Amino acid sequence: MNDFVGQQQDIPENIDAINQSGFVSWSRDNSLSPDFKLQFDAERIPVLGIRQVKVWGLQVDDERALPGHERTSVKGEVLWEIVLEAKDGSHYNVNSDFVVAAP
């Protein structure tokens, strides 16, 4: 489905399952508003793409900003965004934690 995902070496199983299926449904534990979810099919939401997003960490070297911590770091992380198609044809990027592969 998505060439970008096919080229990656370390694809999590849940992302590979979404890529293989081409459709998702909402995960049970998500904080998305019910109004937002109504914009999509209730059971099989088309996936238009998958993106790996790197959130860079933060390093503070200014002791005035954080007294007593002249060098403070916040670890970066890698997120997976799933590009979904709404019923009206609109496209939305959502965090992969909010969806699961649909059969």
Assess if residue 1 is contained within a domain.
Answer: no
The pLDDT, as a whole number, for residue 59 is: 67
Assess if residue 30 is contained within a domain.
Answer: yes
Task: Judge whether residue 91 has pLDDT over 90.
Answer: yes
Rounded mean pLDDT of 15-35? 93
Assess if residue 4 is contained within a domain.
Answer: no
Structural domain boundaries, residue 83: 10-101
Task: Judge whether residue 60 has pLDDT over 70.
Answer: no
The pLDDT, as a whole number, for residue 66 is: 58
The two three-digit tokens of residue 41, written as one number: 């099919």
Assess if residue 5 is contained within a domain.
Answer: no
Model confidence at 62, in pLDDT bands (50, 70, 90)? Answer: low
> What is the tally of structural domains in the chain?
1
Assess if residue 97 is contained within a domain.
Answer: yes
Average the pLDDT over each of 10-14, 56-60, 91-95 and give the range with the smallest value: 56-60
Assess if residue 50 is contained within a domain.
Answer: yes
Cβ(16)–Cβ(5) under 8 Å? yes
The pLDDT, as a whole number, for residue 6 is: 47
Assess if residue 88 is contained within a domain.
Answer: yes
Cβ(4)–Cβ(50) under 8 Å? yes
DSSP, residue by residue, 2-62: -HHHHT-SS--HHHHHHHHHSEEEE-SS----HHHHTTS-SS-EEEEEEEEEEE--EEE--
Instruction: Tell me phi and psi for residue 36, to 5 degrees.
Output: -65, -45
Assess if residue 31 is contained within a domain.
Answer: yes
